[in-house]
A and B are shown apart, each in its own frame.
Chain A
Amino acid sequence: MPVIKAEHLTKRFGKKVLAVDDVSFAIEPGTISGVLGPNGAGKTTTLRMILDLVRPTAGSVTILGSRYRDMRAPAARVGALLDASGFHPGRSGRNALRVIAVGAGISDARVDETLALVELEGAARRAVKGYSTGMKQRLALAAALLGDPEVLILDEPANGLDPEGMLWLRTFLRKLAREGRTVLVSSHVLAEVEQTVDDILIMSEGKLLAQGSMRELMASRQPVVRVRSPQAEMLEAALRAAGAAVNRTNDALAVRGPSAAEVGDVAHAQGIALHELLTEEPSLEELFLQIAGTRREQ
């Protein structure tokens, strides 16, 4: 049974803004799933609809078999990081967590435990207004973990983190998944989650463009042949004539369709010199652009 199940989820703000458009998906237990897409894709609205903070215009979503609003003591089952700035600036980090913990019936000992987990125990008694962005992100993550939940929903958790912080986050998310928790994480920086997630949902302009396991989706991608030639313009024309899709930047070409050997044959047949020829597996970002581009053409 899926941990999160969304069916025809739609959210319209006013008459003009269609933030989420008929989105359906299922998140399986014990996985790290990434909701990926550019800013304004509808990721945050989707996550907030799962948590009942935003009411869907149409469709429905359940988490652990029921609507979030119908859950008793949800903090013990679902943890969420939605907004790292969602703390009173005058309150200490520890008290910010205690306010949440007391309301959820969670002990102060657990507050201290989660602060240690995110490595913030040294700054626990400092006012949140003195925290860096990265520290606020960690505090928000600690808030999500307070109830030791089986499901975590994290909206752009890497925002504001430096490379060291991102590495820490990746390791941390992997650790959570090993513990059997289900993690749904959104990001607009695709490369950031590429090494972390098992499944991905790709969103753009409120629509869900693709969903599947990372492995399946990456297997479906088209490799790109990178070529550099002093006669790039001639080579581009020859490759286009052979039916390839080509993007040229100065003397470099990115070719989709033919293999590297076929590109080399075309160049040889035209007497064009090559300075570089290699096959490159596209990144998640390129995969996203491929999928988004295909959808737009449709």
Chain B
Amino acid sequence: MIALARAELLKLRSTRTALGLFLAILLVTLGPLILLLALLSRSDLAGGGLGVVAYLLVPMVLLVFGILGMTNEYRHRTITYAYLVTPRRWQVMAVKLAVYALVGIATMLFTVVLVYVVTRIGASLRGVEIDATDGATLGDYTRQIVVAGLITAFGVALGALFRAQVLTVAGTLLWALVVEILIGAFKPAVGGWLPFTVFNQVSAVSMGADPGTAGATLSRPQAFIVSLVYIAIVSVAAIFISLRRDVT
């Protein structure tokens, strides 16, 4: 299993995937953050909330990263070698899920530090004293980082289930960014249980405040448990289908 994990990490290092992830993270975090730091008035800046904007798209980037990590194996047919080296396919899938979860966690950890440092520097350049943590506690950051790992693994599992790269990425983003929002708007009782709404609730959107108190369907601990259930179901389904699928 350790050898498999090392192989997974080498796969990431030996293509431009890791560099792509790094650049995408810089773009979606620093882009809006620097714009806000430069353009907001000093009084608006002092109001805080910059982190919420900076973190907004990070889970989507990680989700797509996870999907690409798995669907690339089918697209480039490298899955054949993976299964030849390790015919116990569940091990291949389990290690991939775990490695991508860890990469998601590390990426979010890096992002949190990056956003904190850039916010502090940017605010001081504007001569504004702000709380760069937006009042988030260590627990808030921990949840955010854990969800980043979960959502990356969720992407891997979706990739294993659907295989077709473009369709999986497009379909997942459409679901997360359009369908869930529409369902949430028209049927909030249902929308509150949907996967990406649940992930959001646990992590990024309202750091420092329990969304459960803001009229959400689920409290943050409940949402966390539901998100774990989603991950477990999709991961088990991905492993199960990988065991049965012919590699032609």
User: B-contacting residues of A (Cβ < 8 Å)?
Assistant: 13, 44-45, 48, 51-55, 68-71, 74-75, 80, 82-83, 85-92, 95-96, 98-100, 102-105, 143
Contacts and interface: CB of A to CB of B under 8 A. Distances in A.
9 closest A-B pairs by CB? A103-B7, A95-B14, A86-B77, A53-B247, A69-B87, A102-B7, A54-B246, A103-B85, A90-B15
Contact of A51 (B15, B16, B78, B84): B84
A229 B220 CA distance: 94
A85 B84 contact: no
B3 A91 contact: no
Given A86-B77, A88-B72, A102 B10 contact: yes
Given A86-B81, A92-B14, A99 B76 contact: no
Interface string B1-18: 001101100110011100
Nearest to A51: B84
A85 to B, nearest CB: 6
Contacts of B3: 102-105
Interface in B67-112: 72, 76-78, 80-88
Contacts of B6: 102-103
Contacts of B87: 52, 68-71, 74
Interface string B213-248: 000000000000000000000000000000010111
Contact of B10 (A54, A80, A99): A99
A103 B14 contact: no
Contacts of A90: 15-16
B197 to A, nearest CB: 35
A53 B81 contact: no
B10 A82 contact: no
Nearest to A147: B85
A92 B11 CA distance: 11
Interface in B11-37: 11, 14-16
B3 to A, nearest CB: 5
A53 B83 contact: yes
Given A99-B7, A103-B82, A89 B76 contact: yes
10 contacts: A45-B248, A53-B247, A54-B247, A70-B87, A80-B84, A85-B76, A87-B78, A99-B14, A102-B3, A103-B85
A82 B14 contact: no
A260 B100 CA distance: 72
Contacts of A70: 87
B11 A99 contact: yes
A83 B80 contact: yes
A87 B75 CA distance: 10
